Amino acid sequence: MNTLALEATSLGRRYGKTWALQDCSLSLPTARVVALVGPNGAGKTTLLHLATGLLQPTSGSIHVLGERPGADPEILGRVGFVAQEMPLYRSFTVAEMLRFGGELNPTWDRSLAVDRLESLSIPFSQKVGTLSGGQRGQVSLAIALAKRPELLLLDEPLASLDPLARRDFLAALMESVAEHGVSIVLSSHLVSDLERVCDHLVVLRNGRVAVDGDIGGLVRSHRLVSGPRHTGALAGVGEVIDRTDTDRQTVALVRTVGPILDPAWTVREVDLEEIVLGYLGGREGSNAPADPTLRAVRPAPSEVGS
Amino acid sequence: MIWLTWRQHRAQALATLIGLGAIGVFSLITGPRIAAAFRELHTCLVVPGQDCGLLHESFDRRFNGLQFVIPLYMVVPLLMGVFLGAPLIAREVEQGTHRLAWTQSVTRGRWALTKIGLVAAFTVAATALFAWMVTIWSAPLVAASGDRFGFGVFDLRGIVPIAYALFAVALGTALGASIRKTLPAMAATLGAFAAVRVAVELLLRPRYLPSQTISYSFLQQSPRFGLGDWVLSSRVFDPTGRFVSPDGSITVSPSALAHVCPGVTRGVAFPDKDQVGRCLGQLGVRFVDTYQPGGRYWLFQGIESAIFLSAAAGLIVLAVWLIRRRIS
């Protein structure tokens, strides 16, 4: 496949005098599950709104599946979107929400939505406003999937869900990836939840792309090194992402370009969360001061929404 | 889209139909009685020179109480603007459901035009029915008073109520799309609609065409009596052309009267009204009326409707532009 799921070139969006997203260039391949990570206000929602055509870029350009987002019904039909807070018509019953999907989408797969919601025992005659958060999330996902999109964008779908509902939601999402080969872009600030399901990572910070790459590759190329307090160069290190200096010691997240063989340094592998936190708290970090325990900058679960 | 619009606004549609039904029932109960009473009055009025004063007075007394419906009926277009127009876009944006709707396989231009188009069509149909009921029901009352241009009469009959309602709905829709909060949009619609209606009624309507002027003796009835004119002013001038009174009433001191027409006041405390009038007429005191001829009624209805309909069209264009370019 040579069309990309999402391609942005010097994309920027300004609100008044503030740039919510600036000079953003991305190439997201199809058939991937992309995690779009960043703290609140990093530009995740702005990027997703640009990708759905809800917003128009101030500068640069964005294409989804090779087309301009939201330009016509055809591309609207090929891109599914679950907005933040998962808006639904609260006075509609579940059955009416499904009818809504059918009326507005020529590619609607009613049985997909019905089967999915039946298997979750969500009552069709119940008003959407009276469903639990988890159930509403499942209804939103069912509507987005039943239009049979090639690309599904989800804006903080996990934020309003409790851990159990979160697990069920991700399971449902993964099931549909496996069944229909949908490309997915999922924004979140809960990195630990995404580790199991995503294979591509985009980190946004202050409206700019901090890192963009295949998760396997990122994990392979990043290391946490610790050694004597040291300011000089270290062989094998391409870039210091984030460093913490104490009186005697330096601990740093680095991108390696070769093996680090210096015996004075201990080197260990990192997980996705450490990479994300490293990029978020890194050199240009304005969100959190460098801290010996990097985990301390993890956003609290209460900080949902942006 | 049609089903969605119906499903989202069926409660308002139902409330509108219940309101129209109530007006219909009220009209059916009171209408035939008014019509019967007017037929009696009319048989007297058609005979030239016959004094129908008492009959007229009793007709007026009997149905004067019905004026209570005027303020109720006057707010019908306003209610449509506030409850149908203002929430149309504002509620979607407030609840975030616009993002759900705009990411289905329907462009927002089509979404907006279908929604606004269907609500506008419903508004036209509902207010056409309303205006038709009120026009028929009030026809005897208007014929008895001879006033088709008055406040609460011109505004409730003919075609202008339809234009008002369409304007109110378009205004509510555009304000909702720019304010994006339901309650503030409703309040703004209420204020803006009332301001525009009052401004047009007081400042524009009397000036759609240049008014005409007629001058006649204090002794006479206006030669244009019964032609259904809209009399804008009726003033009294003395023989030298000096302006005497702004409203057709005239205050004359007994001593002045005794000086001019000695016969009228001699030996009586309260001179006869007709004799005083005759005296003033002999003196050359005249009425000068400015008026819009009754024949311009439908022209004025058309002009006023055109004003509100073109404003409505502009507001709908604005709302669609806001939806397509300014909301996300």
What pLDDT, in 10s, does the model give residues A80-134? 999 998 999 999 999 999 999 999 999 999 999 999 999 999 999 999 999 998 8
Per-residue pLDDT tens over the stretch A54-73: 999 999 999 999 999 998 99
CB contact at 8 A, B18 and B89: no
In a domain, A211, yes or no: no
Interface test with B, best of A54, A92, A107, A153 (most B CBs within 10 A): A54
Residues A92 and A170 grouped into a single domain: yes
Residues B36 and B95 grouped into a single domain: yes
Among A177, A206, A235, where does a domain finish?
Answer: A206
Set of chain B residues whose Cβ sits within 8 Å of the Cβ of A56: 325
> Between chains, do B4 and A103 touch, taking CB under 8 Å as contact?
yes
Residues A175 and A259 grouped into a single domain: no
Residues B111 and B234 grouped into a single domain: no
Residue B90 has pLDDT above 50, yes or no: yes
Residue with more model confidence, B243 or B97: B97
Residues A21 and A75 grouped into a single domain: yes
Pairwise CA distance, residues B257 & B271, whole Å? 10
CB contact at 8 A, B245 and B235: yes
Virtual torsion, Cα A174, A180, A182, A186, nearest 10 deg? -20
Query: Tokens for B128?
Result: 């056409």
Q: SS3 helix, strand, coil % of chain A, rounded to 5?
A: 30, 30, 40
Q: Domain range spanning residue B265?
A: 212-292
> Between chains, do A52 and B103 touch, taking CB under 8 Å as contact?
yes
The residue of chain B nearest to residue A100, with distances taken between CA atoms, is: B4
- Report the domain count for chain B: 2
Residues B157 and B274 grouped into a single domain: no
Residue with more model confidence, A303 or B66: B66
Question: How many inter-chain contacts (A to B, CB under 8 Å) are there?
Answer: 74
Share of chain B above pLDDT 90, in %: 66
Could you tell me where the DSSP H helices lie in chain A? 44-52, 73-78, 94-104, 110-119, 133-146, 163-180, 191-194, 215-221, 272-281
Could you tell me where the DSSP H helices lie in A105-208? 110-119, 133-146, 163-180, 191-194
pLDDT band for position B248 (50/70/90)?
low
Could you tell me where the DSSP H helices lie in B200-289? 254-260, 262-265, 273-283
The residue of chain A nearest to residue B2, with distances taken between CA atoms, is: A103
Set of chain B residues whose Cβ sits within 8 Å of the Cβ of A81: 99, 103
Residue A34 has pLDDT above 50, yes or no: yes
Share of chain B above pLDDT 70, in %: 91
Pairwise CA distance, residues B35 & B68, whole Å? 18
pLDDT band for position B269 (50/70/90)?
low
**Least Cα separation, residue A141 to chain B (angstroms):** 11
> Between chains, do B105 and A77 touch, taking CB under 8 Å as contact?
yes
The residue of chain A nearest to residue B3, with distances taken between CA atoms, is: A103
Per-residue pLDDT tens over the stretch A127-174: 999 999 889 999 999 999 999 999 999 999 988 888 888 888 888 888
pLDDT at position A289: 39
Residues B83 and B195 grouped into a single domain: yes
Residues B109 and B195 grouped into a single domain: yes
- Report the domain count for chain A: 2
> Between chains, do B106 and A76 touch, taking CB under 8 Å as contact?
yes
Residues A41 and A113 grouped into a single domain: yes
The β-bridge partners of B243 are B237
Residue with more model confidence, A235 or B133: B133
> Between chains, do B103 and A79 touch, taking CB under 8 Å as contact?
yes
Residues A127 and A177 grouped into a single domain: yes
In a domain, A302, yes or no: no
Question: Strand, coil or helix: what is B324?
Answer: helix
> Between chains, do B7 and A96 touch, taking CB under 8 Å as contact?
yes
Here the ipTM equals 0.86
Residues B194 and B243 grouped into a single domain: no
Residues B140 and B41 grouped into a single domain: yes
Residues A165 and A270 grouped into a single domain: no
The β-bridge partners of B236 are B245, B287
Q: Tell me the pLDDT of chain A averaged across its residues.
A: 86
Q: Domain range spanning residue A101?
A: 6-206
b/e sequence B142-159, b meaning 16+ C-beta within 10 Å: bebeebbbeeebbbbbbb
In a domain, A303, yes or no: no
Residues A232 and A198 grouped into a single domain: no
Among A152, A180, A206, where does a domain finish?
Answer: A206
Instruction: Tell me the CATH number at A96.
Output: 3.40.50.300
Among A206, A237, A259, where does a domain finish?
Answer: A206
